[in-house]
Structure 1
C-alpha cells in the first residue's frame, strides 16, 4: 500500500535519523526517532485491534506528551482521523466535540477522568483508554503498548484524505470541526521549514498545548519533518521555560505576547543564558513594543504572523528583519500560500484598501465537518477561503489587520466568540439584554466583558455571571467584568452596535 500522508513520516525518520533525539519530556526522559516510530506503529496496531480503520475518528484529551504525538501518527498510519480535544473545555463542550466527530475511541490523561466520565456515554464511544501505566484492572496505554506487536501494514492514504479535525468556535456559538487533510498538514509544515529556516539541528521548546493547531501544525510538525528535537512541556511556567532553554540549548520557541512578557518579567530573565535561542515566533496578536524592546536588548527578535485553524493555521509571516520596518504588519503570505483582499463586492481590492482577507493554498482546509452549508459559505466561487477578518495589503504586499468581521476576542492566544457566551448569559434570570466585547488588557491582550441590561430589582453582577458560566464554558471565556447599562445601543434592525460599546468601554 502506498502511504503518502503524515503517517509515513516516522517510518522514514526511523531510516534516516534513527538515533537522533526526537522528543524530550520531563527533566530526564528522551526518545529517539526509532523509539518514536516504533511506538507509533504499536499505537496503530492497538487501534486496529479495537476496530479503528480508515476514516474513523480517534479523540485525544491530554497534555503535551510523547503519547499525544504517537497516537496522532499511529492513527494517521491507519488513515484514521485524529481529533485533539482542548483540555480547557468544560464537559458540555467536550461532549459536543466527541458527538460531532463521531469518535470511535477516546484516549485521555488520567487527570481528565472525571470530565470523561461525565460525557462519554453521550458520545457512544466504543473504547476509552487512559495514558500512562493505568491499573491492574484497567491497563494504561504504556502497559498496552508493551504487549502490542507493531505488525500493522500501513493503509493507503493520499494527501487529500482527512488527517485531523480541529474544533474552532464559530460565530453561531457551537464549535465547528475544521477538517485538515494530510496535504494541509504537510504543506503548512513545508511553509514553516521554508519561512522559518527549520533545520535538523534545531531544538524547539513546546510551551503551548499541541491541541492548538498553531502548536501542532507550525510547531511540532515542521520540527519532526526535519528530524529535529522537540522539548515537550505540559504547561507554561516562565521560570521553568527559561531553565529549559538554558538546559537543552533551545533554538526555537513559539508563543503569544503574554508568554513572552511573563518570561521577560521573571527574576531569572537577565541571568538565563539565551545564546542558543535564534528563532522566536509569536502569534495570537501583535507583539507590543515593550516586549520587542525587552527581547531586542537580549539580541532577540520575532517572526510574527497571521492565520487561523482553517489555514492549518499559517497564512502570513513577518520575518525578524522586518519587525521594525513593518511594525504593525503581520507579514507576507507564506511561501506556498496566497492572500488577497476582497472589497464589499468580492472584487480584488487595490493596495491600501481595507476589505475581507481571503486565503488560498494547499494548507487551506477541506471544510467544516458535516456542515456543507457553512463550508460553501466559507469559500468564494473561485475557491478562496473567506477569513471573515478585515485587512489591507500595503504597496510592498505586506498584510495589515484592520478589524474582525466576526467580533472574535483573542485572550492569551485563545479564541473567544461572543455569541456562545451571549446565548448562555441570556438565560440568567433578570438579564434582558447582553453583548460580549473584547477589552484591551495589558497581560492577556484582550479579555471578555459582558455588557448587560437587567430587569428592575434583579441582582446581577460579575460574580453572578461568572458563577453561572463556570463549568459550562472554559474558564478563559469567563467575563472579567460585567457592566450594567440602561440600554444597549442598537441599529434600526435591532442589532447591537458593538463598535459603540468598544469605544465606550475602551475597546
Structure 2
C-alpha cells in the first residue's frame, strides 16, 4: 500500500481478522470487513464530491460509528479531518469551520439546528446528516443523508500516497482563554501516540473497550479507542455517559478497557449499582483530564481496581505521562512516568529541572507532539520552545521520577505571598462528608492580594454551612489555603468531559460582585 496513514487501517486490519467484531453501537454490530467496505465507499463518495489531498472535512457530533468512519475515509484521500466539540454553540462551530476552511461537514442528529444556521456559510459546499432527526424542522433542506451519501459512493480501492509527515487531523483547543486554536497532528504523531499506548498499557487483541468519553476530545479518541482498533479488538460506542448504562455494559459485555475523567469515575462509584456490579473484567482503567480526588482512588482501590492516571494535552495527542497498572496501587495519586517514546520534564522559570517536591511547569517533547497550530505560527512559536511543548500545568516529581499534577498554572493564585493551587484545596473539600462537588478560584483582596472562594455542591440530604466547611478545612490545610468564602450552588459548569470551567466560574463571581 502507498497509504501509510490512518486511512489505510481498515484495509490493513482485514488482512488478519476481517470477521472479528470491530464496532458495536446500540443494536448495530460491524465487523472489520464492514468498516473497511463502508469507509471505502465513503472515501469514494467524498472524492466524487470534490474532496482531495489537503482538503478539510469536518465532523461535529457525539460518539457514533460515523465519527470513526469519516476519519478513516478522509485519511484514505490524503485529506485532513477536523473534529469539532459537539458541545459548542453555532457561532463557535462557525469560527472553527471558517478557520479550518472545511468544505464538507458531517453532523450528528443533535446538530440540525447548527447546520440550518450555518447552511450558507461560505466555503462549505456540502452538509451531510448522520441519522437525520425527523422532528428537526430547522434542518437545512440541502443536507444529504449520510447513509445515502455513503451508499452512492463507488467501491474502488483508493490507494493515495500518504506519508507519516502528512497532516491527518485538526483538533481545536477549548479556547477558554480566547479563540480556540487548531492543533495539527500528522499521521506520524498520531501513530506514535498509539505506539506509546500499546507499549505502556496492556491493550490486547481480545480487548473490549467501552468508548463512552467523548471522542471529539483527544483522550477519548486516542487513549484507548483507536489503539484498540489497531490491535483488532472490540469497541463499544456509547453516545453519552449514563452511569447505570456504563455499569451494566461493563458487567454484561466483560469490558476490559475504559477511559474516563474523574467526574465520570465519581459518578460511577456513587451509583447504587456500583457495589453489586461485576467489575472483574476491567484491566485498563485510564483516567485523565484533571487531578484525581483521593476519595475516588480509595473507592476504586477498595474494589481491587487501580486507576491509571495519565497526563497530556490536545497538542501532544495526548500522552506525556502515564501510570502503569503495576504502579497504580503503589503510586495511586501519581500520573506516572514518561510515555515510552515521549519525554516530559518539570522545570523552573529558567528552564532547569525542579528538585523532588518542588513545583514547576510540565513540558513535553517527542514524536507525538503536534506539527503546530493551524495557520497560527505565532501561537506555535509561543507553545513550542526549543522543541519542547509548554503545557501550562504545574506539577512536582518524587525521588523516583513519578509526576504529581498540582493544577493549571493559570488557576494558581497568590495569597499573602504564598502560592495556592486550587486543585489541592478542592481535593480537601471533596474529602469532607457531605461535599459532592467543589471548585476554588482566586479573587482579588485588598489585604492579601488574592484569596480563595470555594463553590460547593452539597450531597443530597447533607446539611452543611459555610462555617462548618471552613472549620473542617482549617484542620487539614494551612491557613492561607483555606477559602475566605464558601458559596453553595446547585451545580458547577463543566465541559463535556467533566472538566471544571473555571473561566465561567470567574465570570459569574465577578458579576455577582458588581
Q: Is this a same-fold pair by TM over 0.5?
A: yes
Match of 2:206 among 192, 198, 201: 201
For the residues of structure 2 that align with 1:447 and 1:10, how far apart are their CA atoms?
43
State the 1:189 CA deviation: 0.9
Match of 1:384 among 380, 384, 388: 388
Q: 1:56-85: per-residue Cα shift (whole Å, max 9, x none)?
A: 111001111111101110001111111111
**Structure 2 unaligned residues grouped into runs of 5+:** 135-140, 414-421, 446-454, 456-489
For 1:189, the equivalent position in structure 2 comes to 194
For 2:505, the equivalent position in structure 1 comes to 479
State the 1:36 CA deviation: 0.7
Alignment of 1:25-424 (within 5 A): 25-26=25-26, 28-132=27-131, 139-170=144-175, 172-381=177-386, 383-407=387-411
Instruction: Point out the more displaced range, 174-183 or 120-129.
Output: 120-129
Change in 2 beyond 3 A, CA 1:448/1:109: farther
**Structure 1 unaligned residues grouped into runs of 5+:** 410-436, 454-461, 489-507
- Residues 291 and 405 in structure 2, CA contact (< 8 A), matched pair in contact too: no
- Residues 373 and 380 in structure 2, CA contact (< 8 A), matched pair in contact too: yes
Instruction: Point out the more displaced range, 95-104 or 272-281.
Output: 272-281
State the 1:291 CA deviation: 1.8
For 1:20, the equivalent position in structure 2 comes to 20
**What SS class does the counterpart of residue 121 from structure 2 fall into?**
helix
Give the alignment's TM-score, normalised by structure 1.
Answer: 0.80
For the residues of structure 1 that align with 2:43 and 2:146, how far apart are their CA atoms?
12
- Residues 82 and 164 in structure 1, CA contact (< 8 A), matched pair in contact too: yes
Change in 2 beyond 3 A, CA 1:106/1:183: same
Q: 1:351-373: per-residue Cα shift (whole Å, max 9, x none)?
A: 44432211011111111111101
State the 1:444 CA deviation: 8.3
- Residues 134 and 140 in structure 1, CA contact (< 8 A), matched pair in contact too: no
Count of matched residue pairs: 442
- Residues 165 and 186 in structure 2, CA contact (< 8 A), matched pair in contact too: yes
State the 1:120 CA deviation: 3.9
For the residues of structure 2 that align with 1:255 and 1:452, how far apart are their CA atoms?
34
For the residues of structure 2 that align with 1:15 and 1:395, how far apart are their CA atoms?
46
- Residues 57 and 105 in structure 2, CA contact (< 8 A), matched pair in contact too: yes
**What SS class does the counterpart of residue 286 from structure 1 fall into?**
coil
State the 1:286 CA deviation: 2.9
- Residues 392 and 401 in structure 1, CA contact (< 8 A), matched pair in contact too: yes
For the residues of structure 2 that align with 1:475 and 1:280, how far apart are their CA atoms?
18
For the residues of structure 2 that align with 1:42 and 1:79, how far apart are their CA atoms?
15
Q: 1:384-441: per-residue Cα shift (whole Å, max 9, x none)?
A: 11112222332211112233223399xxxxxxxxxxxxxxxxxxxxxxxxxxx98847
